[in-house]
Amino acid sequence: MATIEEALEIERLERDIFRGASPKTQLPRTFGGQVAGQALVAAVRTVEPRYQVHSLHGYFLRPGNPDQPTVYLVERIRDGRSFCTRRVTGVQDGAAIFTMSASFHVGDPGPQHQDVMPVVRRADELPDAQTSMDPERLWAMREWEHWDIRPVPQEEVTARDGVVAKQQVWFRYRHALPDDPLFHVCTLAYMSDMTLLGSSKVIHPDEQTQNASLDHAMWFLRPFRADDWLLYDQSSPSAGFGRALTGGKIFDRRGALVAAVVQEGLIRTLREE
């Protein structure tokens, strides 16, 4: 299947209009991480290099057609001395399928602190999905063959009082990526939509549900490489009325908190025909 370079490829049509690639996929609708990643690449292309993206907030409005490219319309909302803001709308067949606001910052000195990374087994101590015989993991492996994704066994997931649904996943891109930090940020935006909604299903394993991302927010906190191991520490504090709230903290293997994610997703009981 597509490499991350192919999945994030966009073509400039006008000053603030871009067209994203539609790489080969086995999914029935466009992967949300691809839309978010391409939208962020489009926003980055309209910002001076001294600014670094520090947050994005997006809504998935309609399912995308994976066989059709998405056009991204970028609005230059603000250009300031320290911050600038972009709004991006992804369009197919004249209808918006995704909208996102992204904020960029030059970086300033200030106090520092972070949460501590949970204690889990190292990624290299967990089995590679390529050696799995589980049909679901093998299907995902075909779609995301360039990613090394290793869930921590549920019985080993770090427990916290009062947290009802947790999941922990190690991941990295299998191949060396360019050194450009913004490419790693866009790669992580792509990856961050993967597995997160699954944290809402760990205590409902037998429930048959329709699942889809509804909105997605990310904060990029420290430099990182997406081709080195990252731990996605996920939880779902609430599910009800056909929706689930999920969140994740992403740490590098040295324990630095590099990003945070919040997502609400559709988790609706399958309707009987």
Q: Which of 26, 19, 95 is nearest to 61 (CA)?
A: 95
Q: Give 243's Cβ-side CA count (13 Å radius).
A: 8
Reported confidence tier of residue 159, pLDDT bands at 50, 70, 90: confident
pLDDT value at position 109? 92
pLDDT value at position 133? 61
- For the chain, how big is the Rg over CA atoms in Å? 18
**Is the same domain home to 53 and 93?**
yes
pLDDT at 273 over 70: no
Identify the domain boundary among 107, 137, 155.
107
Number of independent structural domains in the chain: 2
Reported confidence tier of residue 41, pLDDT bands at 50, 70, 90: very high
Identify the domain boundary among 56, 72, 107.
107
Q: What is the pLDDT of residues 209-235, one digit of tens each?
A: 999 999 999 999 999 999 999 999 999
**Is the same domain home to 160 and 203?**
yes
Q: How far is CA 265 from the centre of its chain?
A: 13
Tell me if 154 is assigned to some domain.
yes
Reported confidence tier of residue 149, pLDDT bands at 50, 70, 90: very high
Read off the CATH number of the domain in which 35 is found. Answer: 3.10.129.10
Tell me if 249 is assigned to some domain.
yes
pTM: 0.94
Identify whether the C-beta of residue 218 lies closer than 8 Å to the C-beta of residue 56: yes
Residues assigned a catalytic role? 193, 213, 263
pLDDT at 137 over 80: no
Averaged confidence pLDDT in the chain = 93
Average of per-residue pLDDT across 25-44: 95
pLDDT at 196 over 80: yes
